[in-house]
Copies of this chain bind each other. A is one copy, B any other.
Amino acid sequence: MSIRIGILGYGNLGRGIECAIKQNTDMELAAVFTRRDPSGVTIQTEGVPVCSVSEAKDWKDKIDVMILCGGSATDLPEQTPEYARMFNVIDSFDTHARIPEHYANVDAAAKEGNKIGIISVGWDPGMFSLNRLYANAILPDGKDYTFWGKGVSQGHSDAIRRVEGVKDAKQYTIPVDTALEAVRNGENPELTTRQKHTRECFVVLEEGADAAKVEEEIKTMPNYFSDYDTTVHFISEEELKRDHSGIPHGGFVLRSGKTGWNGENSHLIEYSLKLDSNPEFTSSVLVAYARAAYRLSQEGQSGCRTVFDIAPAYLSAKSGEELRRTML
């Protein structure tokens, strides 16, 4: 029998989940839940209903894992505990500072419902976190580096759009090659914010806007841009649509460390991602962990989990015997 997946929230992430389910033959999409009017939402999978979130509770016995595709700012802190009382749930909660609080809330709710809730799944938090943990456990005497990009930062793009005179914009976060190379060479550099990443902005101006003023306002924006070397390009609306409509991202997690009786040997562990579509890759990670949630629940487990708590074999559709034979 297939693992029956529900999608709650049909934005970029929800659509990515739908695609990922299609790639996993042990899963099927049971239903999509939306806060919008369901009659206005068209999905790609034939024969699968789109329902109002208010109907979700009626699906308790027809869905094995509900994947929550809301935002971390306001949706997930409410939704994940709420739905963990009824369903095994997965989310991609990514407000790093609030993870302990979110964990506690989901843990209590999931235990109450005798369900599994896996939080903060994706690539950062998610695969990057896993690589930080493995690398730290292996090389206790070392130094961690995380670089993001080249990729689109939604938050920074939004910040530019709020500048007066800006019609539309896209911002790319770009790791600085020389900094990456210094880390790879085992130089253990101390890197400032400015030394690690640059920011590149593609901006469409409103008719008659003052380009110099917009550029100045972007480059000096506190928190978002003032600590970085920022480049601003003014382009037409057509160019933005043609050249910058994708949502690529990626990055690098590195740890350099020493071993030996006197720390005489150096080692470098590097993990990197180069992603055409940030939401589709995140979705693919979420779906693999949905399989784990289902299995943990079948074993009678309940409560909150993170990627740290889940043995890798739970993510794969293959049996333990097959994994040992083909991948070990």
Q: Which residues of A pack against B, CB within 8 Å?
A: 16, 18-20, 22-24, 44, 96, 99-100, 103, 120, 125, 127, 129-134, 136-141, 184, 259-261, 265-277, 280-281, 283-285, 288, 291, 306-313, 315-317, 320-321, 323-325, 327-328
Contacts and interface: CB of A to CB of B under 8 A. Distances in A.
A14 B323 CA distance: 29
Contact of A133 (B16, B96, B270, B315): B315
Contacts of A324: 99-100, 103, 306, 308
A24 B311 contact: no
A10 to B, nearest CB: 14
Chain B CB within 10 Å, residue with most, of A16, A184, A260, A288:
A260
A137 B288 contact: yes
Contacts of A133: 312-313, 315-316, 323, 327
A302 to B, nearest CB: 16
Given A19-B259, A312-B130, A274 B283 contact: no
A100 B323 contact: no
Contact of A137 (B316, B321, B328): B316
A313 B308 contact: yes
A22 B262 CA distance: 10
Contact of A281 (B23, B259, B276, B321): B259
A48 to B, nearest CB: 14
A268 B274 contact: yes
Contact of A44 (B19, B24, B261, B271): B261
A271 B274 contact: no
A-B residue pairs, 9 tightest by C-beta: A265-B276, A137-B315, A259-B280, A265-B277, A308-B313, A268-B274, A137-B288, A129-B328, A137-B316
Given A137-B291, A270-B272, A309-B313, 19 more contacts: A16-B259, A18-B261, A23-B140, A103-B324, A129-B328, A130-B312, A137-B317, A259-B276, A259-B277, A259-B281, A259-B283, A265-B275, A265-B277, A267-B275, A269-B272, A269-B273, A270-B270, A309-B312, A311-B311
A273 B268 contact: yes
Chain B CB within 10 Å, residue with most, of A18, A130, A276:
A276
A321 B306 CA distance: 11
A232 B128 CA distance: 41
A84 B261 CA distance: 29
Contacts of A132: 327
A139 B259 contact: no
Contacts of A327: 129, 132-133, 136, 308
Contacts of A271: 131, 270-272
A306 to B, nearest CB: 6
